[in-house]
C-alpha cells in the first residue's frame, strides 16, 4: 500500500470550508497566494510519498536504539530528515527574519498532517523543532535568537521539549529539576526528564533542549518554574557547536508504537543553560510552544487516520469474501453493508477532524495577522477540540482499519496494526485529551461562553443559507447547534468546576460532532450536484451527528454519580 498525499482535500477545505482566503487577504500573509500554496502542497506531497512513506514500516521493524550512550536512528531516517531540512519544511511558518518562509499556520498544519500520515515516527522530530522556534521567537533574548534560530530554522540543529519527570507528569508543578545561577548569565541545570521525544539523534549537528526547572527562590507549583535552553553541544563564540554539555541520554523508553522515534530519559548534571523569558514565568513561555504543538499533535492523529483509511480501502477493494449484495454478488468485501459503513465512517471522521484542525489554524493566522481579540479567542477555543478530536479520530479510524482487515488486521505484516499502535500516544502527550476537555469547559469558558456562542451563531446562519439546497441536512445541523447552545448555557451556569469537569470529555466530543456536521454541510453546499462530498456529508449528518444528543446528556449529568461509590468500593 502506497501513501497518497490528500492534496485535493486540502485545496477544497482551504477554499470552501476553512476560509483560508480571510487570512491570505491580510498584509501579513499577502505573499501566500493560491499558486504559492498549491506549489507548497504539491512539493510537500511528493516528499511525503517518495521519501517518508517508504520508511513507515522500516521505523517499526528497525527501532531507534541506544549504543554506548549514543542514539542510533532507523536506517534511512537520516537521509529523509536531510530532505526535510534542505526543502525548508521544518520552518515554513517561521519568521523570514531568521530564514523561515513565514507562511500561514494553516499551510504548516497541512504539511505536518501529510508528513504524519507518511511516517509519524520521523515527523515528530521537526514538529518539536517548530515548537521550539515559536517559543524562542516570542520569549528569547536577541542574543539567543541570533545564535539558535538560524540553525533551528534550517534544520541543522533540532529542538526538544523537556517537561515530564517520573513524579511530575500532567502535574508539571511537581517537578524537581533545579537551576542554579552560574554568575555569568548562564545556569546549572540538574535533574532527570522522561518521555523526551527525539531527545537525541545521529543526524543533526546539535540538539537543543527547552527544559523546565526551578530556581532556588522559585515557589512551589507552576508559578515557581522557569524555562531554560540547554544545548547538547555548547556553541562557541562563532555560534558553532563546541564542547559537550553535561547532559546525556540514560535510556530509551520501550513503547507500544512509534518505534522509530527515540523517546529518551534525559539526565542533566549541572548542564549549562540559558534563561528563556522571565524568571519563574517558564510556563508562559512553554505554553507558546505547547499550544501550537497541540494543534500539531491533532494533525498527527488526522494524518494517521488518512493513512489507515487509504490502507483499509485498498484492502477492501481487493479482498473477496462471501456473496455480496451488489451486481452479480462476486464483488469484494467493500460491497458488504457493514464494511461499507466502516469505510464511510473512516472517511467522514477524517474529513471532519481535518476541517476542524484547519479552521483552528486559520483562526491562529487571523489572530497573528490582525491582532484581533476575537480571532485569538476563536483559535484558543478550537485548539483543545482540534487536539482531542484529531487524536481520538486517529485512534478510532486506525482501530476500524484493523477491523476492516479482519483476521489479517492483527497480523503485523499487513501494517494495519502499526497505525493503531503508533497513534495511541497522541491522545496522551502534549496534554491528555481529558486535560484538553477540562481546558475547554474551564479556561475557554471564562468568557461566559461568548466565544462558543459566536461560533454557534455562524453555524446556524450557514445552516439557514443551506436550507434551500439541502433542507434535510441543514435542519439537522441547525437543531444540533441549538442543542449544543443549551449545553453551553448549562455549563457556564455551573459554579462547581467538578460538575463541569465530570462531563467535559463528552462535551468536547459533542462540540466536535456539531462542528463536523457544520463543515460537512459547507462542503456539500459548495460541491452540490449530488457529488461525493454531498453523499459523504449526508452519511455523517444522518449517522454520526446524532451522537451529539447522547454526549450532551452525559455532559450535563453533573458529578454526583462519579463520586457516589467510595474509593474502597471502587477498588473492591
C-alpha 204/C-alpha 100 separation (Å) is 18
Distance, CA of 249 to chain centre: 26
DSSP class per residue in 484-508: HHHHHHHHHT---HHHHHHTHHHHH
Output the nine-digit C-alpha cell for 312: 483499509
- 70-72 and 241-244 as β-strands: parallel, antiparallel, unpaired? unpaired
Residues 379, 100, 371, 31, CA torsion sign: negative
**Residue whose C-alpha is closest to residue 400's, from 309, 336, 318, 322:** 309
Determine the 3-state secondary structure of 158 from DSSP. Answer: strand
SS3 assignment for 408-466: HHHCHHHCHHHHHHHHHHHHCCCCCHHHHHHHHHCHHHCCCCHHHHHHHHHHHHHHHHH
Classify residue 27 by burial, with Cβ atoms within 10 Å: 0-12, 13-18, 19+.
Answer: exposed
User: Is residue 530 annotated as a catalytic residue, yes or no?
Assistant: no
C-alpha 458/C-alpha 173 separation (Å) is 39
Contacts with 213 (C-beta within 8 Å, 6 or more apart), sequence order: 175, 177, 178, 179, 187, 189, 191, 225, 226, 228, 273, 282
Output the nine-digit C-alpha cell for 321: 469474501
Catalytic residue selected from 43, 430, 464, 486? 430
Note whether 144 and 157 are within 8 A (CB).
no
Distances (CA, A) of 98 to 23, 95, 134, 137: 22, 6, 12, 9
As beta bridge partners, residue 252 has 264
Phi-psi sector, 239: left (phi>0), alpha (psi -120 to 50), beta: left
DSSP class per residue in 49-60: IIIIGGGHHHHH
Output the nine-digit C-alpha cell for 174: 511537581
Q: What phi and psi values does residue 271 have, to the nearest 5 degrees?
A: -65, 145
Cβ count within 10 A of residue 336: 18
C-alpha 114/C-alpha 187 separation (Å) is 39
C-alpha 363/C-alpha 375 separation (Å) is 6
Question: Active-site positions?
Answer: 430
Amino acid at each position: 500500500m502506497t501513501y497518497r498525499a490528500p492534496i485535493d482535500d486540502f485545496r477544497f477545505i482551504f477554499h470552501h470550508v476553512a476560509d483560508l482566503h480571510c487570512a491570505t487577504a491580510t498584509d501579513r500573509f499577502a505573499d501566500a497566494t493560491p499558486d504559492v500554496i498549491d506549489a507548497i502542497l504539491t512539493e510537500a506531497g511528493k516528499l511525503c510519498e517518495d521519501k517518508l512513506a517508504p520508511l513507515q514500516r522500516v521505523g517499526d521493524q528497525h527501532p531507534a536504539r541506544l549504543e554506548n550512550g549514543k542514539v542510533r536512528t532507523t536506517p534511512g531516517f537520516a537521509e529523509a530528515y536531510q530532505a526535510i531540512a534542505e526543502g525548508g519544511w521544518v520552518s515554513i511558518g517561521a519568521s523570514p527574519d531568521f530564514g523561515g518562509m513565514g507562511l500561514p499556520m494553516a499551510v504548516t498544519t497541512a504539511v505536518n498532517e501529510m508528513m504524519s500520515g507518511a511516517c509519524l515516527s520521523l515527523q515528530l522530530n521537526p514538529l518539536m523543532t517548530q515548537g521550539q522556534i515559536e517559543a524562542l521567537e516570542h520569549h528569547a533574548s536577541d542574543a539567543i535568537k541570533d545564535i539558535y534560530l538560524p540553525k533551528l530554522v534550517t534544520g541543522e540543529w533540532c529542538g526538544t521539549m523537556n517537561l515530564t519527570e517520573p513524579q511530575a507528569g500532567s502535574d508539571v508543578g511537581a517537578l524537581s529539576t533545579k537551576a542554579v545561577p552560574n554568575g555569568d548569565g548562564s545556569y546549572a541545570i540538574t535533574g532527570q526528564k522522561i518521555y523526551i521525544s527525539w531527545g537525541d539523534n545521529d543526524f543533526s549537528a546539535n540538539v537543543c533542549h527547552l527544559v523546565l526547572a526551578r530556581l532556588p527562590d522559585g515557589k512551589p507549583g507552576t508559578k515557581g518554574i522557569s524555562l531554560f535552553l540547554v544545548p547538547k553541544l555548547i556553541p562557541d563564540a562563532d555560534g558553532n557547536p563546541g564542547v559537550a554539555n553535561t547532559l546525556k541520554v540514560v535510556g530509551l523508553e520501550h513503547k507500544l508504537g512509534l518505534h522509530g522515534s527515540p523517546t529518551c530519559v534525559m539526565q542533566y548534571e549541572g548542564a549549562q543553560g540559558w534563561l528563556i523569558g522571565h524568571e519563574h514565568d517558564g510556563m508562559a513561555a512553554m505554553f507558546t510552544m505547547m499550544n501550537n504543538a497541540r494543534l500539531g499533535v491533532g494533525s498527527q492523529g488526522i494524518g494517521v487516520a488518512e493513512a489507515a483509511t487509504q490502507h483499509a480501502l485498498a484492502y477492501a477493494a481487493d479482498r473477496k469474501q462471501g456473496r455480496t449484495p451488489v451486481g452479480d454478488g462476486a464483488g469484494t468485501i467493500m460491497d458488504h453493508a457493514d464494511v461499507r459503513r466502516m469505510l464511510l465512517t473512516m472517511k467522514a471522521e477524517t474529513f471532519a477532524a481535518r476541517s476542524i484542525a484547519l479552521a483552528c489554524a486559520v483562526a491562529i493566522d487571523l489572530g497573528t495577522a490582525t491582532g484581533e481579540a476575537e480571532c485569538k479567542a476563536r483559535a484558543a477555543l478550537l485548539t483543545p477540540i482540534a487536539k482531542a478530536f484529531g487524536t481520538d479520530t486517529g485512534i478510532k479510524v486506525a482501530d476500524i482499519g484493523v477491523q476492516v482487515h479482519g483476521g489479517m488486521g492483527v497480523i503485523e505484516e499487513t501494517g494495519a496494526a502499526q497505525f493503531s499502535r503508533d497513534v495511541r500516544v497522541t491522545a496522551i502527550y502534549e496534554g491528555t485529551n481529558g486535560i484538553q476537555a477540562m481546558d475547554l469547559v474551564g479556561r475557554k469558558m471564562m468568557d461566559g461562553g461568548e466565544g462558543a456562542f459566536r461560533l454557534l451563531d455562524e453555524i446556524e446562519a450557514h445552516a439557514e443559507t443551506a436550507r434551500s439546497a439541502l433542507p434535510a441536512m441543514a435542519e439537522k445541523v441547525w437543531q444540533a447547534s441549538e442543542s449544543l447552545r443549551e449545553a453551553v448555557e448549562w455549563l457556564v451556569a455551573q459554579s462547581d468546576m467538578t460538575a463541569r469537569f465530570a462531563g467535559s470529555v463528552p462535551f468536547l466530543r459533542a462540540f466536535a460532532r456539531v462542528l463536523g456536521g457544520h463543515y460537512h454541510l459547507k462542503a456539500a453546499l459548495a460541491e452540490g450536484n449530488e457529488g461525493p462530498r454531498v453523499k459523504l456529508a449526508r452519511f455523517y449528518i444522518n449517522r454520526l451527528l446524532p451522537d451529539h444528543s447522547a454526549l450532551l446528556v452525559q455532559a450535563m449529568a453533573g458529578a454526583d454519580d462519579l463520586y457516589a461509590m467510595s474509593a474502597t468500593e471502587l477498588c473492591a
